[in-house]
Structure 1
Amino acid sequence: MFRDVGEESGRLRWWRGPLGSVGFGGDYNPEQWGPDVHAEDVELMREARVGLVTLGIFAWARTEPTPGGYDFTWLDDHMDRLAAAGVRVCLATMTASPPPWLARLHPETLPVLEDGTRLYPGSRQHWCPSSPVFRRYAVRLVERLAGRYADHPALALWHIGNEYGCHVSRHCHCPVSAAAFRDWLRARYATLDALNDAWSTTFWSQHYAAWEEIHTPRTAPSFRNPAQLADYWRFSSDELLDCYLAEKAVLARLAPGVPVTTNFVPVARTLDLFRWAPHLDVVSYDSYPDPHDPDAARRAAFSYDVMRGLKGGRPWLLLEQAPSAVNWRPHNGRKPPGRMRLDSWQAVAHGADAVLFFQWRQSRGGAEKFHSAMVPHAGPDTRIFREAAELGAELAGRPELLGAVPERADAALLLDWPAWWALETGAHPSEVDYLEGALAYHRPLYDASVACDVVPLDGDLTAYRLLLVPHLYSVSREAAARLVAYVEGGGTLVMSYFSGITDEHDRVYLGGYPGPFREVLGLTVEEFAPRADGGWAEVLRLEGAEAVPGPGGADGAEGPAVTRHAYGRGTAWYVACDPGPKALRELLDRVRAECGVRPAVAGLPEGVQVRTRVTAAGERLRVRLDYRDGAVAVERDDA
């Protein structure tokens, strides 16, 4: 999929040009401070080599303090000051958090939870994505911003919204949302007969005779219809995307040469990011690895590979990370000396073209006052600011990394949001965590310093020697045929348990599990046999596949746990259990050896990671991260 990322847009070349090196800076919120602090900010930004800031993310109330009463003078001053200092701006559309007056005038814009609870102002993201009133006010603000700043010399790119779906992650259950859901269903199914068939409404007397009988899946006496839940989550992702697109349309009309982005939150089931990605000029991400989590670097690497995969291998932007501690975990560990640097270089190694923090200056009040910042409460004479400034100088000294594309991988992991949604609707033989499954299969490649792309089900798979497919519970016959063709054409497929169980409407494939994959895997799953401790097991009947003994392939209580099947010119492996990290690493090491997937550098010790980026001139740059002592090195690869 990533062998040829193609020609990038002129908007991205226009954005990168003035930076000169990997973007460095933070989320700047000058509305929280006065003129004396503003003057100091500019001097400290020069000292820290800051070249890019995000601005105005939560400034709607400052910019429109009363309905239609706009005040841009404060923003003019900051845009001009930053431009004079050589700092470019990722300017937010400010629509993430409406001012209190919108809720006072239009309480119908406030979101409603599935139990009927209405959410009120006093936090953020207190808006219903389906509300035409909210969208009207948001678009009106964006029109004013775009008309005023489209040609400003500080403007680098537009930041639409902020962390879509972070809080109201399952959309809204108000009457406006219910009507919008029904419209979405009409567009998807056309007729009630088709919907009733897809939702299997003959079960539990759920047959719908009129569209008006359908509601969002609110709190119910028992298990809710799983197909309805999955469709509602699709609708939620699409409805938030429509909010984004309404703002993007204004920017495309008034500022057509300026690229647009929005920042995704740590990988979650909320949004189908592969569906969103075509509408971003560049993907942006907020990363908050937990310093107390020994697997934090592995989880971050997976997320960064997802971000890289969203645009077919193109560089992406790290728009938020913490210089040290956050404020929202039960126990907020600080990053020890050197960790800020190592975390930042990990993002660059995996394709980041910018490294920004939340935030530039630590807030004095508000809910995030104990969230660390580049300039802490104690001021610039602190370890955190000194480390930030040293990092800024380091990144500025490597201009060749800006725009360099990550080297393509020979291995890929398939990630599919519709399968994720269907898997987590409940009422299954045992709980299966889709994200943890994806992380489990990504980890052995990460630990071996093997590059791994993350790809969608409809992506080009032919470039990969190895394809990992964790928990593809729900899949259409057409999509399944693409995976079968991949193996038949010479690819190596590793599929984990509870895959190929239902079609795209969560209706079970009859005739034996795993439905459309029985032939390519050479087996039938006769029964699921989850254990009392939560472990997964299956009873297999081999129909051409061979049982794989040894590490990662020990027999289960009633038969083989891992199988291998030659099919066409390729090979399909099946893992009918959760073998654990050590055994899964041994198994995937064996699979990699068979299909020729190797790390970028042979013989790396455990704890050392190497990733390669390739410049426009074809120069290969290796970023080496040593998690044993925190060392980072950027080396030219002349091989």
Structure 2
Amino acid sequence: MPGLSDATRGRILYGGDHNPEQWPEETWHEDVRLMRQAGVNTVTLGVFSWAKLEPRPGERDFGWLDRIMDLMGEAGIGVVLATPTASPPPWMGHLHPDTLPRDEEGRTEWWGGRQHFSHSSATYRRYAAAITEDLAARYAGHPALTMWHINNEYCTYDWGDEAAARFRDWLRDRHGTLDALNTAWGTAFWSQGYGDWAEVMPPRHPHYLKNPTQVLDFKRFTSDMLLECYAAERDIVRRHSPHLPVTTNFMPLWAGQDAWRWAEEEDVVSVDLYPDPRDPFGAQEGALVQDMTRSQARGPWMLMEQAAGAVNWRGVNHPKPHGLNRLWSLQAVARGADAVCYFQWRQSRQGAEKFHSGMVSHAGEQGRTYQEVTRLGADLARIAPHVTGTHSTARIAVLHDWHSWWAGDQEARPSHEVDHPGMLRAWHRALWQAHLTTDFAHPEHDLSAYPLVVVPQLYLLTDTAVDNLLAYAHGGGTLVCGFLTGIADEDDRVRPGGMDARLRDLFGIRTLHEWWPLDAGETVTCEGFRGTLWSEELDADGTADATTPYKGGELDGLPAVLRKGRAWYVSTLPEPEALRDLLTRIATGAGVRPVLDGLPDQVEAVRRGDLLFLLNHGREPVAVDLPGTHRDLLTGTDVTDRVTLGRHGAAVLRP
């Protein structure tokens, strides 16, 4: 199958969503001039244009799209053409109410916004296939077309009747019989046993708590139904243009899609990324999403959307300070992106996103945003020949699984203070602050290439995943697991002993007596550090090589951290500095070190291919010591022994 390299051809794709249908045609030519001036070489067209393309059922208006496609082609700007199926026209919901999703309380989600479609609706799927077929037939051979973009940010749920029927079909495929379903869902609890498939429903609003495995299966089902929608449109465009890559854009660390499975169905893995510019850990959030997307892609990936300035959906929407847009864009390239794009090209004057920034803001050509965008375009052109198609290097894998997330973050757990994304962020942040680059991996992936594997939390583990972790540890790898790992099987059934027995043996745990969650802000004292969020009452079995005890309180003297061989178990969340120090010490023991020693705290250093990216996330200039002489591709100058990075400054160094 084609991939991102087929679209980039040695360039970093640079541009963004272009919505010419919102503007008079005389603006289009001005857009082309500004795009070429800014170094834009790609635009995404048609994402939300279904009502324009099909103003009434079965009618087609392609004239405007023909003209803009031709205009882009004449300007040498490639087009990522989207299927418009994320936002059906009002006539569809009006004529076909079955296409509208319903929430868990039975309320209809109406048109007037976006993503108002039922993934299970046969009528919606029929119309979506028809418009996709006609788009593909018309534009597959257009010289400007470089890639297909299916739908947009798949994120819909549906608890309606048609979804319920599809859910029952999905459950038959998964479980086979009602007896197997009852066993998997544990329906002996609360008299929930099902005697007829017609009784089985999505987990709609109940009087009290929902069945956890029913909820888990519904999340699996929803991800699969959305994937069916994507695959149906993907297969249509592939049939017309098998030489072109196909993508759809993930939202960062979003719960609704099993992105490991989705990534296998894409030619190009792409993501939308909007860290808060006022968040002191915004750069780390970006790094986490970039590492995860690169790992899903298993190579170069596409930053489909970011903001050139402010967004419009936070309580207070701050613009990006001078230089931050450039810095975060170069961070994405350092961590594997071969495409840096935005929502959107020109800031809208009307609609719900008129205060969301664009590459061309309301200030126009003279505005700071456009001036910075132009500078970035020049930077990307300078480094593109040296970076595209190369790989970012990491020797640490952080394990993550959507099914574990879905199971572990439900109601009626020991603590609502503990959540899966929060644990991922805390552990990844500790490694990021230690200047250690990480990949992400699924717990069933081959882990043998990594000297160190880190498991912040995997509440649910299949038997295959447990066997994989054991094989990795027994094969000489260093494994570090956080609390609440290996608690439940794939049906959210608590394993005997409160943790998989094989994992208890791996870590040297005899008995896990009680979980002791901590209140918000509460800490527990351990030897050498304080723990947060969680603690556990457990006994060591005498085989551990080292333990770090709790000090004082109910758990006094019991192990907080155990090490048995190269396997570590951490039964609390150490405070940030302590977690960083612990993981740094373990990484050093596993032979993993930063790409440069002695880095200032605010400087991120990432190696991609033979290039070294240095990124200053601070607001003050900083000097970084280097071994020998390097060429800074951004400035075209040689630097020897030391390079100075200005506020939000960057260097891309080649030996």
The TM-score with structure 2 as length reference comes to 0.91
Aligned pair in 2 of structure 1 residues 608, 214: CA closer, same or farther (>3 Å)? same
1:15 maps to a residue whose letter is A
1:566 alignment counterpart: 564
Structure 1 residue corresponding to 2:441, chosen from 435, 440, 455? 455
Structure 2 residue corresponding to 1:525, chosen from 493, 509, 512? 512
Whether the 8 Å contact between 2:488 and 2:495 is mirrored in structure 1 is yes
1:406 alignment counterpart: 391
Percent identity of equivalent pairs: 47
1:513 shift after superposition: 2.8
Give 4+ residue runs of structure 1 displaced > 6 Å after superposition.
553-556
Whether the 8 Å contact between 1:537 and 1:556 is mirrored in structure 2 is no
2:654 maps to a residue whose letter is R
Structure 2 residue corresponding to 1:24, chosen from 8, 14, 18? 14
1:10 shift after superposition: 4.5
Residue 360 (structure 2) pairs with residue 375 (structure 1): yes
1:404 shift after superposition: 3.0
Aligned pair in 2 of structure 1 residues 529, 514: CA closer, same or farther (>3 Å)? farther
1:419 alignment counterpart: 404
Matched residue SS, 2:613:
strand
1:549 shift after superposition: 3.5
Residue 575 (structure 2) pairs with residue 590 (structure 1): no
Matched residue SS, 2:492:
coil
- Superposed CA deviations along residues 169-199 of structure 1, whole A, max 9, x for unmatched, are xx20110000000000000000111110011
1:562 shift after superposition: 3.4
1:5 alignment counterpart: none
1:32 maps to a residue whose letter is Q
Gaps of at least 5 residues in structure 2 are 523-532, 619-646
Matched residue SS, 2:118:
coil
- Superposed CA deviations along residues 306-340 of structure 1, whole A, max 9, x for unmatched, are 0001022x110111101110001111011011011
1:514 shift after superposition: 4.5
1:405 shift after superposition: 2.6
Whether the 8 Å contact between 2:539 and 2:559 is mirrored in structure 1 is no
1:480 maps to a residue whose letter is V
1:374 shift after superposition: 0.9
The residue correspondences of 1:61-460 to structure 2 (distance < 5 A) are 61-165=51-155, 168=156, 171-312=157-298, 314-431=299-416, 432-460=418-446
2:534 maps to a residue whose letter is W
The TM-score with structure 1 as length reference comes to 0.94
1:189 maps to a residue whose letter is H
Higher relative contact order (CA 8 A, sep 6+): 1
Structure 2 residue corresponding to 1:503, chosen from 473, 489, 497? 489
Whether the 8 Å contact between 1:143 and 1:251 is mirrored in structure 2 is yes
2:608 alignment counterpart: 613
2-structure distance, mates of 1:555, 1:495: 24
1-structure distance, mates of 2:322, 2:106: 47
2-structure distance, mates of 1:345, 1:557: 49
Residue 44 (structure 2) pairs with residue 46 (structure 1): no
2:540 alignment counterpart: 542
Whether the 8 Å contact between 1:537 and 1:561 is mirrored in structure 2 is no
- Superposed CA deviations along residues 363-416 of structure 1, whole A, max 9, x for unmatched, are 010000000111111211111110101110111111224533323311110001
Aligned pair in 2 of structure 1 residues 182, 96: CA closer, same or farther (>3 Å)? same
Aligned pair in 2 of structure 1 residues 330, 12: CA closer, same or farther (>3 Å)? closer
Matched residue SS, 1:398:
helix
1-structure distance, mates of 2:3, 2:570: 45
Aligned pair in 2 of structure 1 residues 46, 532: CA closer, same or farther (>3 Å)? closer
2:616 maps to a residue whose letter is D
Whether the 8 Å contact between 1:501 and 1:515 is mirrored in structure 2 is no
1:448 shift after superposition: 1.7
Aligned pair in 2 of structure 1 residues 292, 143: CA closer, same or farther (>3 Å)? same
The count of aligned residue pairs is: 612
Larger strand proportion of the pair? 2
Aligned pair in 2 of structure 1 residues 630, 12: CA closer, same or farther (>3 Å)? closer
1:592 shift after superposition: 1.1
1:636 shift after superposition: 1.1
2-structure distance, mates of 1:278, 1:251: 17
Residue 573 (structure 2) pairs with residue 578 (structure 1): yes
1:33 alignment counterpart: 23
Whether the 8 Å contact between 1:554 and 1:562 is mirrored in structure 2 is no
1:4 alignment counterpart: none
2-structure distance, mates of 1:398, 1:495: 39
2:652 alignment counterpart: 634
1:177 maps to a residue whose letter is A
Gaps of at least 5 residues in structure 1 are 1-8, 615-619
1:610 shift after superposition: 1.3
2:567 maps to a residue whose letter is A
1:404 maps to a residue whose letter is G
Whether the 8 Å contact between 1:621 and 1:634 is mirrored in structure 2 is yes
Query: Structure 1 stretch 554-563 or stretch 63-72: which is displaced more?
Result: 554-563
2:96 maps to a residue whose letter is H
1:473 alignment counterpart: 459
Aligned pair in 2 of structure 1 residues 11, 474: CA closer, same or farther (>3 Å)? closer
1:444 shift after superposition: 1.5
2-structure distance, mates of 1:517, 1:256: 46
